[in-house]
Structure 1
């Protein structure tokens, strides 16, 4: 089967218009091919790759371009799968250079890779976590915006305590929640292995109220195999999820863009502030390596690296 990125117009124009030698083009092919596989695993469904219409929201029929959240997930993937800093650097440099080229020839409108320093793997990235005070305001705003069902409140609380990746959150089903063991099983995320996260007592309490609400039971329709979060009788998409988070952040007077991945970073920060160890945070974030967890803890990163 053709690789999504290698068979795209982006790579064809890269080969055709760049001044690189055939040998250099060949060296780009391996990391770009791997990126194409990652894009599919990330949840991109179209047969034709379009970075300016990377996310699609069925609710309003709108498209959004590839964004910083995707790059964050890709950085995490490199940290998890590559053995050395050199390999990580080579892969990321090739991808960043490729995106710079396709932006230069106007094939894409936005280039989120441009915001990352090529040497990101040698030092901590900018802290994207919300402060404790901002986190409290976000939870309060979520409750105010959705006081009847409290879906927004549960969604934000879940992210602050479990830190799911956006794809995992959108596809999360009631059948994955085990109230007896206080865990949520993650078996259909962007990773290929099953794992679990622990629920706090507060999350368990509000989740039980939420899943027994008449409106949620009506959405469920007698089956456990439906998504936990929904909008207008449809499961959340990545675009809709981030629009909801943006709306809540605006209500909370947080004057910066807030994404689902920022809430994942906030979970790591809050756990660290509450005295949890790096291995404990690593387990909740489901990272294979502690070095990946340290990406989310800039101050700790400086101490450990």
Structure 2
């Protein structure tokens, strides 16, 4: 018998959660295990009896009690003993349930969140340095400047400071740039919702210089308003982008693999270095969940708390060499 997956809660969640299909399927797997645990614990006969605000009857108090932290603890024990779950699986199960119940609580589908402040200590993800250091950023920008590669210079600066995704970069058009308000409108790209990203002053100036030059203006007059093409006939192709990144990072002396997504991690780290608070970094990267931003930064909870006390706007010029300003 299906209980959780046929309940009003899961139906509402799946219809409105706005998550990727792969994430939804992974969360459903956890919900199936939770469903099995509830059926074995409470012997429900149908989904109609399933009410998270009145999940079980307290015979001592004589009232129905909502789902609570104690029940979640029992479910974790159930996973460890009945299913011999690994620490990695326990970590993911708790993460998915926290997301599920948090969504229900924010949507007023349940009166209290049983997993608010619930600690997840079962698995520590390996933190890898996926970002470019300020020194590597300077090396790449300096190389482009010295070799008069203005399109590449501007493109790399934009990638380093805005956190746009690969597909978003390749979809950017001239009309998406708002110089007056120092923002870039993101309208196209994979995993993209319409929104804006902040454009620091150094990028605003670089884009003004780049788009005012003859090569770009000629391309604009020909009807191609894509911001970057790297000599592609129309829209910048992903293969051409990756190839150019490989070529120039190697020539600039960066001794490791750099991908378009490396720059998204780099934006997060450079914003942290420049004194931005955590909320602004999450907003710039347009992450739905805070834990995704935490993973990008590789920070502890204490570091996040300290970052929230910061009030600085993103100013990458504080770590750029004077020759790059």
Question: Normalised by the size of structure 1, how large is the TM-score?
Answer: 0.58
Equivalent position of 2:95 in the other structure? 85
Equivalent position of 1:128 in the other structure? 130
1:214 and 2:201 correspond: no
Q: Which has the larger radius of gyration?
A: 2
Q: Which runs of structure 1 show a deviation greater than 4 angstroms over 4 or more consecutive aligned residues?
A: 119-122, 301-305
Deviation at 1:124, TM superposition (A): 4.8
Equivalent position of 2:158 in the other structure? 158
SS in 2 for 1:236: coil
Equivalent position of 1:296 in the other structure? 296
Deviation at 1:218, TM superposition (A): 1.1
Partners of 2:184 and 2:93 in 1: CA distance: 29
Deviation at 1:128, TM superposition (A): 0.5
Partners of 2:255 and 2:122 in 1: CA distance: 26
Q: Is the 8 A contact 1:143 1:153 kept in 2?
A: yes
Distance 1:120 1:171, change over 3 A: farther
* Structure-to-structure mapping, 1:49-68, within 5 angstroms: none
Q: Is the 8 A contact 2:177 2:184 kept in 1?
A: yes
The superposition leaves residues 123-173 of structure 1 with CA deviations (integer Å, 9 ceiling, x where unpaired) of: 25312111111111011112234x1x6001001110111011000001111
Deviation at 1:179, TM superposition (A): 0.8
Partners of 1:169 and 1:208 in 2: CA distance: 17
Name stretches of at least 5 consecutive residues in structure 2 with no aligned partner. Answer: 1-19, 25-91, 99-120, 306-325
Q: Is the 8 A contact 1:124 1:301 kept in 2?
A: no
Which of the pair has the greater relative contact order for Cα pairs under 8 Å at 6+ separation? 1
Deviation at 1:220, TM superposition (A): 1.2
Deviation at 1:231, TM superposition (A): 2.5
Equivalent position of 2:225 in the other structure? 226
Q: Is the 8 A contact 1:174 1:226 kept in 2?
A: yes
Partners of 2:122 and 2:210 in 1: CA distance: 40
Partners of 1:239 and 1:208 in 2: CA distance: 27
The superposition leaves residues 82-132 of structure 1 with CA deviations (integer Å, 9 ceiling, x where unpaired) of: 9962479xxxxxxxxxxxxxxxxxxxxxxxxxxxxxx99852531211111
Partners of 2:170 and 2:268 in 1: CA distance: 20
Equivalent position of 2:183 in the other structure? 183
Equivalent position of 1:48 in the other structure? none
* Structure-to-structure mapping, 1:42-121, within 5 angstroms: 85-86=95-96
SS in 1 for 2:139: helix
Equivalent position of 1:34 in the other structure? 21
Question: Normalised by the size of structure 2, how large is the TM-score?
Answer: 0.55
- Give the paired residue count: 198
Deviation at 1:286, TM superposition (A): 0.9
Partners of 1:162 and 1:282 in 2: CA distance: 12
Deviation at 1:192, TM superposition (A): 4.6
Equivalent position of 1:205 in the other structure? 205
Partners of 2:251 and 2:291 in 1: CA distance: 35
Distance 1:218 1:170, change over 3 A: same
Deviation at 1:36, TM superposition (A): 12
- What is the CA RMSD across the aligned residues, in angstroms? 3.2
Partners of 1:250 and 1:232 in 2: CA distance: 20
Deviation at 1:296, TM superposition (A): 0.9
Partners of 1:121 and 1:238 in 2: CA distance: 35
